[in-house]
A and B are shown apart, each in its own frame.
Chain A
């Protein structure tokens, strides 16, 4: 009798399968991957102002779009597609096999990381080619960027899986999830300069990860002189790190403890 494959190796297999399935759904490829790029093109073309010396709105918006891309491809996509898979009975069927839940989660995380990397490449490409956004040269900034993307994707994946228990049905999932994401984007300084928002909005947004991701991304793509224009007069990257870790733990906890395989 051979041994059952390990959870990790099954997770990698699931990752491959998730990517293959995703690539074959053209609508979702277009919607999840290209939507933030299209928004960048629209906003970048409409708002050409300079918001601070040497800082254009396009730069500000690019940082915000990369951050909200993490939320779109992770949290939003999972919180909508998992309830659909549950409605189809696909999750229940998986539950009946020796594949453990952790492998399913690993597979989703792989899909999110891969689509995230593709999206970031497209966003940066558009930013550089059309809006003259300059890439940072300081290696320290790229280090910050790397941990923001990894931690942000992990956080977004975990929270998306956790939130998938909320929508009652697959059909209704989009109606529950999308408004939450859009409101968070408005409150978190993606579409507007954060410090120009009413302070109650700022305080509300500060509870959730998106505000911290956008701020972290600004620390990468905006000159350090802009830090004084932030609410705390600094980039607060340590605090961003801590808050993302807390949300990651919350997401993992609910994913592991409350995940629903079957519609009741």
Chain B
């Protein structure tokens, strides 16, 4: 069974149509990234799946449960999911370990608190009050609170905003570990390299619609896109778009009789593809 199943999801705020008919299937155990510019409908979509917002129409099943339902069934459902929101700042008068310990008590099968602290790299801050943490450390605490309940499905809304590169790498490793445990993850992010490093599939959402869903390596025809070869010829930088870059390099190599000056061979990055995609739909 799919972890998330959405068909024909729509949501408007007054005259503003935030989500204009979205279909989405996310398999169990999959890491799925939702990419899109601000105001594209990302947050609305995710918050409907998390049960924070109501929808106008469409059907939504998250772990087989309709997030709009309430009562005991909703508690059972929330026991199986973890949510890392975009920005949370508590009053901060509790320590890291007190907070995680307390939240772990909400769930039926929580992870070990020490292990959670270790996995987000907050061992040294375990006894510190939250208000004494840096932005990045707070973010790691958010993640810790999202995973302490041992969720089958984890929502991560821009989890690494404000991380330094080292912390981001450590966070990516944590996600890989969760993948190993079979956790399904729905990730929204602004960082394309993050989506590329983590996600099995990426959906690009713009103007309330999903433009494309595919693995990051083939998004927007990326794998078959032409390569760009550039090199220096005297004072001039020359370039050529080609499907056969190796042939061109060979030709240039014999032309220059060995080393080709300032040779580069590039394919469009995920970012180039993504920008082209969301740019296209603006026109």
Residues of A within 8 A of B (CB): 1-5, 10, 13, 17, 20-21, 24-25, 84-85, 88-90, 92-93, 95-100, 261-262
B91 adjacent to A89 (CB under 8 Å)? no
Given contacts A5-B106, A93-B145, contact A21 B52 (CB under 8 A): no
Give the CA-CA distance A10 to B79 in the complex, in Å. 14
Chain B interface size, as a band, is 20 to 34
- Most A CB atoms within 10 A — which of B85, B103, B105, B106? B106
- B108 pairs with A4, CB closer than 8 A: yes
Q: Is the CB of A97 within 8 A of B78?
A: yes
A55 to B: closest C-beta gap in Å: 43
Q: Binary interface profile of B, 80-122, with partner A (CB < 8 Å = 1, else 0)?
A: 0101010111110110001000110111110000000000000
16 additional A-B residue pairs with CB within 8 Å, beyond A89-B85, A96-B83 = A4-B79, A5-B105, A5-B106, A13-B102, A17-B94, A21-B93, A88-B89, A88-B90, A90-B88, A92-B52, A92-B85, A92-B88, A93-B85, A96-B50, A96-B51, A97-B107
- Choose from B50, B90, B93, B106 the contact partner of A98 (Cβ within 8 Å): B106
For the complex, give the distance between the alpha carbons of A3 and B76 in Å.
9
Flag if A97 contacts B85 (CB, 8 Å). no
Contact: A3 with B108, CB < 8 Å? yes
Known: A13-B102, A17-B102, A96-B50. A89 touches B87 (CB 8 A): yes
Subset of 26 A-B contacts with CB under 8 Å: A1-B109, A5-B105, A10-B106, A17-B94, A20-B93, A21-B94, A84-B91, A88-B89, A88-B90, A89-B88, A92-B52, A92-B85, A92-B88, A93-B85, A93-B145, A95-B52, A96-B51, A96-B52, A97-B106, A97-B107, A98-B75, A98-B79, A98-B108, A98-B149, A100-B75, A262-B52
Within 8 A of A (CB), among B131-163: 145, 149
Closest residue to A20 on the B side, CB-wise?
B94
**CB distance A99 to B52 under 8 Å?**
no
CB neighbours of A5 from chain B (8 A): 105-106, 108
For the complex formed, measure the closest distance between the CB of A99 and the CB atoms of chain B, giving whole angstroms: 5
* Closest CB pairs A-B (n = 10): A96-B83, A89-B88, A24-B93, A98-B78, A2-B108, A98-B79, A98-B75, A97-B106, A99-B106, A4-B108
> Within 8 Å CB of A84, what residues of B?
91
Contact (Cβ within 8 A) A21 B91: yes
B75 touches which of A4, A17, A89 (Cβ 8 Å): A4
Contact status of A25 and B91, CB under 8 A, knowing A2-B109, A97-B106, A262-B52: yes
Residues of A within 8 A of B106 (CB): 5, 10, 97-99
Residues of A within 8 A of B94 (CB): 17, 20-21, 24
Min CB distance A242 to B, Å, is 32
Q: How far is the CA of A98 from the CA of B79 in the complex (A)?
A: 5
A51 to chain B, nearest CB (A): 43
A262 and B47 alpha carbons, distance in the complex (Å) = 11
Residues from chain B with Cβ under 8 Å of A88 in the complex: 88-91
Q: Which chain B residues border A20 with CB–CB below 8 Å?
A: 93-94, 98
Closest CB in chain A relative to B53 CB, distance in Å: 9
In the docked arrangement, what's the CA distance between A20 and B103, Å? 15
CB-CB under 8 A from A100, the residues of chain B are 75
**In the bound complex, what is the Cα–Cα distance between A98 and B72 (angstroms)?**
9
Which residues of B sit under 8 angstroms from A4, Cβ to Cβ?
75-76, 79, 107-108
Q: Which residues of A contact B98 (CB under 8 A)?
A: 17, 20
Chain A min CB distance to B130 (Å) = 11
